[in-house]
Structure formats: C-alpha cells, structure tokens
Structure 1
Amino acid sequence: MENEEEVLATSNEPLDPNLHKKHISMIERLSNRHQTRLDNSLARQSESDSSSSSIATATTTASFLSRFSDSKCSIDSQLAQSRLTDPAQLRSHLDGISASISDLEKLVAESSYFLPSYEVRSSLKTISDLKQTLENLNSELIPKKKFSFKNKASKQDRGRSVSDSKQTAPENAASFSVSLEKLSFQVRDSPGLRNKNGETLVKNFKGSEVGEFTVSDLDSCEVRLIGSVRALFVHRLKNCRVYAGPVTGSILIEGAEDCVFVMASHQIRIHNAKGTDFYLRVRSRPIIEDSTGVRFAPYCLSYEGIEEDLREASLNEETGNWGNVDDFKWLRAVQSPNWSVLPENERVGMVQISNSGDGIEGN
C-alpha cells in the first residue's frame, strides 16, 4: 500500500486514460482499506466497553462460587465428624453446623443481586441438602430430642410434631385445604402469635431485640407487626391479613390460603400458598414452591417510624424484586402459571397501621 501511495504522491506526468483508471482503482482500494481499519478499531472498542460489565459480573460470580464452595466443604467436613464427636459435645457441635448453614444461606441472599438465576437455584438446593443431612444426623444421633433447625427446643415442645400441633389448631383450620402432611416444618419455640380465630393481633417490637418470631394457626385474623425482627416464620394461615415491618433476615411462609401479606425482608420463601397476595420489598428474588394463584405487588405499609426501621434494616430502597419471582417447581423457560403480577387497579393503597386495635386505614 505504501508503494501505491508513493506513486500517487510523486507522479506529476499527464496520465493516459488507462493509467488514469489504474490510479482511480488504487485510490478506491486505499480508501476501502482505511475504512476497514477504522471499522475494526471501532468494533474492538465497542466490544471492550460492552464486555467490561460482563467481566465485572463474572468476577463477582466467581468470587461468590469460591466462597460458597469453601464454606460447603467446611460444613461437609463438620458433618462427617459428627459421628466421631464426644457425645457430651455433640449438641454444641450440631448447633455450630446449623449456624454455619444459616451463614451460607445469608451469603446466597446477599449475593443474589448479581448471580444468575441458575446459580441461585443451585446454591439453595445445596443448602437444602445440607439442612436435610443435618436433620438426619440429629434424628440418628439424638433420637430422643426433636431437632428444629436454628432453634433450641424447650422441654415443653421437644418432640412435638406437626400432627401434635393440629390438635391445638382452631377447629376452622381442619377445613384448611393445604395438605398439612406436605409441610415439613417443626413447631418452633420462638415468641409468636398462635391459635387464634377472628382477632386483631398487634405486636410492637420497637425498643426490644427480637430474634425469631412465629405466626401460626390463625383463621380470619389481622396481624400487625410494628418494628423489626431478625427472622419471621408463618405457618398455616387462612383468610388472614398480615402487615409486617422490616425483617433483617429471612421470612418463611408454609401454608397460606386466601391471605394478604405486606412484608419487607432480605429473603422470602413461600411454600404451599394458594390464592394469596403478597406486597413485598425484598433484597433477593422471592421463591415459591408448591403454590398456585399467588400474586405480587410492591410494599405499601406505613406506620410511625417505619422509614427509620427500613433504613436500619437496609430495606429503605425499592429493588423491584417483588416482581422477579422464582418458582422452584416450574423448570420451563416460559413464565410460571402459578404466580402473576397483581394488576394495579386491584391493589390496595398505602396501608397505615398503629398500635391500637382500631381498624386499618387505607388510601
């Protein structure tokens, strides 16, 4: 190409028609080459810019997978040592494993912003398997004491099974269409609201440090939880309305029919829900299992001091994850038919609650 440019630059002689055509052809070739180089340079720059965010995401995902793998290997090692542990130290050993699994679950919740959906599903499946292995070890090594994950059972409730709890549920709960046999949870010894029918139940956590709180076996009740807790467990509710301030950890709902939940948390898992609406603010994608006819909308709760509570729980910003639901029992690429976005014209307005037993205000 340099020779062609030199010829054009130094040639001052008159050109005959044939030579003139050759010169024009050379000019076209030079122009085309220059344009090709320019296009390639711009393409490389564009690829570099577009890939920078992908590289960052891949880096953070790789970092998460490394931490997750290291933690899982450590838990696997602790599980393997359980049968060799001094019986006097066994309970403490198993409780330590339970805490490690909880930390691993929290890591997944905090990392779900950038993780691909497959990695979230795979990680939660691994955690579920670890929990099941721990449950099996407890049943085998400590057969006389029922083990409740992340909880220390009291003498009164040790060994209490789901079938036992059905005897203390309201009579109306017997008609609850959700199959209780499918629910695998253990009755928890945490503070809570249990076994009520047709009541307005108010609990104010402000000024107190509450870890886990349980709401179970309610029919046609209205529940108001003001303030913040670390974890919230909801079991077997029918025709109820639950309005809750921020939960700094996770919410587990197992068994809900014809209910409305207004909740904010870092993670929420919903099992066996039917015909129920969820108004959520959540840091990670909500998870549903064995549920039908559930609908989702953004969080819409207000009470005196809620903004401060949300800020302290790192839930003061809307993430939009309320509409990004994972159905773990729906593996196809198309939208799951088990959940939908609640139409705007069917949503409640901002819900205002207070400590009093008066009705809830809506606008």
Structure 2
Amino acid sequence: MADADEPSSIPNSIPSDPSDANLQKKHASVIERLANRNQTRLENSITRRSESDSSTSSTSSFLDRFSDSKRAIESALAQCRLTPPDPAQLRSHLDGISTSISDLEKLVAESSYSLPSYEVRASLKSISELKQALDNLNSELLPKKKFSFKNKATKKDQKSESKDPGLENADSMLMNKQQQASYSARDSPGIRDKDGEILVKNFKGSDVGEFTISGLSSCEVKLIGSVRALFIHKLRNCKVYTGPVMGSILIDDVEECTFAMASHQIRIHNAKKSDFYLRVRSRPIIEDSSSVRFAPYRVSYEGIEEDLTDATLGVETGNWENVDDFRWLRAVPSPNWSILPEDERIDTIKISPTEG
C-alpha cells in the first residue's frame, strides 16, 4: 500500500483540450441559430395565417353582401317584367333599379383593393349582365323612347352625345348614379379640341367634380390639385400629368401618349403604344389595348404630398405593376402590357403654376 504521505499518481482533474472547447462553442452556436431560425419561421407562419384569415374573412363578407344585393336587383327586374308598375311610376321604378346597380358597382369599387382579381372580374361581369337585363326591360316597357335619367334632350344634343364614345363608356366607371346621370361632354368642365398646346390647370383650393380631357393632338396637359373623377378620350401623341384623382379615371381611345396620374381606380380602354406612370389603390384595368407599358408615379408640385394624403393616396401600393387585362383570360401573362424598363422611364415631372 502506498504511503499516506506519498503524492497520488492520479491527478484530481484533467485539463480540457482547447480544441474540444472550441467544438462545444461552435455546437452551441449552431443550436442557437437553428432555434432562432425555427422561431422566425413559426412567427412568419402565424403572421401569414393571420393575414390569410383576414383576407378570407373580408372576401367572404363582400361576397355575402354582393350576392344579397344581386338577388334583390334580379328580383326587382323579374317582378317589374311580370307585373309592370303603373305607367306614371314606371320611370321612377326603373330609376330605382338603376340606382341599385350603381350602388353595387360602388361596393365593388370600394372592396376591389382587397379582393382577388378573379372576384373583381366575376363581380363586374355580373354587374354588366344586370345592366343588360335592365336595358332589355327598358326596350320592352318603353319601346318608343330610349330610357334616360336626364331631362329630355333635343335632337341636336342627342346627335352630339352619340358621337362621344366616352359617354357610352362612362358606365364602366365605378361611379354613383348621380355622377353618371349628370355627366356629359357638353357640360363637364374640361379641356377639348386642342392641337400642339401646353395646358396647365390649377385646382388648388377648388372643389372640382368631373373633369374631361378630350380631342387633343400633340398637347401637354398638367393638372395641379385634386379632382373627383377624370375622363380622358381621343388623345394622340399627348402627355398628361395630374395630381391625385379622388375617385376614378376612365381613359378611352388614346395612342402614342404618356400619362402620369394617381387615383383610386384606373380603367384603360382602347389604348395603343402608350406609357402609364401610376399610383393606384386598386389594380389597373385594361381592355382592348396593346403595347401599353407601366411604371410608378412621377409627378411633383408644391403641396402634392398633402394632396395625395388627403386623397388617401399618400402611400405607394405597388399596384401600378399589377395590371388586369379583362380581354385576356388565359393562364399565361397578357402580351398586351409590360413593365417599362427603368432606363427608358422619364424623370419626375415638376409642375409649376406659372407654366402655360
């Protein structure tokens, strides 16, 4: 037996190998990274699920409201056909049905920002069918006179209106019935029939409803301030730069033009070889158009940020590149529009009230 005073040959502890310590640190770091990554994925999954549930709930609520209103209109149309009202009340009754259809359009307009594009298309198709049904009912019950909510027009006025396709397409705008009834190219403030001019309008401090730009060639139009609705028709080789439009913009029959505009809704019909610099809360809609290109909004003037905020257009939504082609229903992307290459985009347009 070893002497009690003799030092033990077995050490009390074995020093750790430095390389082992480094391995343990690396292992702990990897475990921590994996744990953090898993937590991030879990949080993102919860966020996406919440957003999806919210979107689904919003869409479901819209569809319920839309279906109820649609059924009520269809019922009113059927009842009117089976048991026509007294002739003295017929016009008022048809007026009420038209107002209901316009209210349904307004519901789609207000909800389109959060709806899937196919739901917007399906809803607009249903509204178009309701309008056609009302037109057919007008023909059956009022065969001798075209149904209209306006005061009786003279033959000269009717001839003038029939020449302006923009009036016929005004129904496409998601506007209320009062706006549709009051609009005409003759009465609406606007700029018409100009050639080779620079035209500047300052709406700051004014309450402008509908504004029309029509029949221009090789012109440059600049609008400062806000309007409620904008109708653009029959432009060739023009440039149009605007402040915010608080409602909708309808563009029809334009070619080789450049537009820079901000609005809640923009519908483009029969446009060719034109560029659009947009800020829009809902997806832009094109119909019967070709070789049109899109880029973000580029307009500046003193006070524009305040105007955009007042029109609830202060934030860029990115919808300028989410274009719906209503004449292209295939699964592959539409060949009628494209994103404007950055190296071909114009600089920010700065508008001064002293121009023009």
2:299 maps to 1:301 = yes
Kindly provide the CA deviation profile for residues 288-307 of structure 1, in whole angstroms up to 9, marking residues without a partner as x. 01100000011111122221
> Aligned with 1:68: secondary structure?
helix
Aligned-residue identity in percent:
67
1:128 is aligned to: 128
Q: Which residue identity is paired with 1:185?
A: N
Q: Give runs of aligned pairs for residues 12-161 of structure 1, distance below 5 A.
A: 49=46, 51-80=49-78, 84-138=84-138, 141=142, 144=145, 147=148, 152=150, 155=153, 158-160=157-159
Question: Could you tell me whether the CA contact under 8 Å between 1:240 and 1:259 is conserved in 2?
Answer: yes
Question: Could you tell me whether the CA contact under 8 Å between 1:146 and 1:159 is conserved in 2?
Answer: no
Once residues 357 and 204 of structure 1 are traced to their aligned partners in structure 2, the CA distance between those partners, rounded to angstroms, is: 10
Shift of 1:138: 4.8
Of 185, 197, 213 in structure 1, the residue corresponding to residue 169 of structure 2 is: 185
Question: Could you tell me whether the CA contact under 8 Å between 1:146 and 1:158 is conserved in 2?
Answer: no
Once residues 350 and 153 of structure 1 are traced to their aligned partners in structure 2, the CA distance between those partners, rounded to angstroms, is: 45
Once residues 266 and 320 of structure 2 are traced to their aligned partners in structure 1, the CA distance between those partners, rounded to angstroms, is: 10
Which sections of structure 2, spanning at least 5 residues, go unmatched?
1-38, 171-183
Shift of 1:343: 0.7
Once residues 94 and 271 of structure 1 are traced to their aligned partners in structure 2, the CA distance between those partners, rounded to angstroms, is: 28
Q: Give runs of aligned pairs for residues 284-299 of structure 1, distance below 5 A.
A: 284-299=282-297
Question: Could you tell me whether the CA contact under 8 Å between 1:213 and 1:229 is conserved in 2?
Answer: yes
Q: Which residue identity is paired with 1:125?
A: K
Once residues 301 and 154 of structure 1 are traced to their aligned partners in structure 2, the CA distance between those partners, rounded to angstroms, is: 42
Q: Give runs of aligned pairs for residues 146-225 of structure 1, distance below 5 A.
A: 147=148, 152=150, 155=153, 158-160=157-159, 164-165=163-164, 184-185=168-169, 188=185, 189-225=187-223
Kindly provide the CA deviation profile for residues 305-354 of structure 1, in whole angstroms up to 9, marking residues without a partner as x. 22121111111110000000001111122211100011111111111113
Once residues 88 and 157 of structure 2 are traced to their aligned partners in structure 1, the CA distance between those partners, rounded to angstroms, is: 19
1:328 is aligned to: 326
Question: Could you tell me whether the CA contact under 8 Å between 1:162 and 1:185 is conserved in 2?
Answer: no
The two structures have a TM-score, normalised by structure 1, of 0.72
> Aligned with 2:158: secondary structure?
coil
Once residues 138 and 266 of structure 2 are traced to their aligned partners in structure 1, the CA distance between those partners, rounded to angstroms, is: 26
Q: What is the RMSD computed on CA atoms of the aligned residues?
A: 3.0
The two structures have a TM-score, normalised by structure 2, of 0.74
1:170 is aligned to: none
**208-217 or 332-341, which moves further after superposition?**
208-217
Rate the CA distance shift 1:78–1:303 in 2: closer, same or farther, 3 A. farther
Rate the CA distance shift 1:119–1:353 in 2: closer, same or farther, 3 A. same
Q: Which residue identity is paired with 1:276?
A: S
Kindly provide the CA deviation profile for residues 56-108 of structure 1, in whole angstroms up to 9, marking residues without a partner as x. 22211110101111222233344445563454455544444444333322322
Once residues 89 and 200 of structure 2 are traced to their aligned partners in structure 1, the CA distance between those partners, rounded to angstroms, is: 40
Once residues 300 and 47 of structure 1 are traced to their aligned partners in structure 2, the CA distance between those partners, rounded to angstroms, is: 34
Q: Which residue identity is paired with 1:62?
A: S
Shift of 1:47: 11
Shift of 1:161: 5.6
Question: Could you tell me whether the CA contact under 8 Å between 1:183 and 1:254 is conserved in 2?
Answer: no
> Aligned with 2:328: secondary structure?
coil
Once residues 127 and 335 of structure 1 are traced to their aligned partners in structure 2, the CA distance between those partners, rounded to angstroms, is: 25
Kindly provide the CA deviation profile for residues 205-256 of structure 1, in whole angstroms up to 9, marking residues without a partner as x. 2333222222111111111222222211111111111111111111111111
Once residues 192 and 324 of structure 1 are traced to their aligned partners in structure 2, the CA distance between those partners, rounded to angstroms, is: 30
Once residues 269 and 153 of structure 1 are traced to their aligned partners in structure 2, the CA distance between those partners, rounded to angstroms, is: 28
> Aligned with 1:233: secondary structure?
strand
Q: Which residue identity is paired with 1:128?
A: S
Q: Which residue identity is paired with 1:131?
A: K
2:273 is aligned to: 275
Rate the CA distance shift 1:301–1:92 in 2: closer, same or farther, 3 A. farther
Q: Which residue identity is paired with 2:125?
A: K
Rate the CA distance shift 1:277–1:268 in 2: closer, same or farther, 3 A. same
Once residues 267 and 192 of structure 2 are traced to their aligned partners in structure 1, the CA distance between those partners, rounded to angstroms, is: 20
2:5 is aligned to: none
Question: Could you tell me whether the CA contact under 8 Å between 1:110 and 1:283 is conserved in 2?
Answer: no
Shift of 1:204: 2.5
Kindly provide the CA deviation profile for residues 155-186 of structure 1, in whole angstroms up to 9, marking residues without a partner as x. 46742366645xxxxxxxxxxxxxx7x99537
Rate the CA distance shift 1:196–1:92 in 2: closer, same or farther, 3 A. farther
Once residues 153 and 214 of structure 1 are traced to their aligned partners in structure 2, the CA distance between those partners, rounded to angstroms, is: 21
Kindly provide the CA deviation profile for residues 102-153 of structure 1, in whole angstroms up to 9, marking residues without a partner as x. 3322322332233222111101111222333344455663754574xxx846
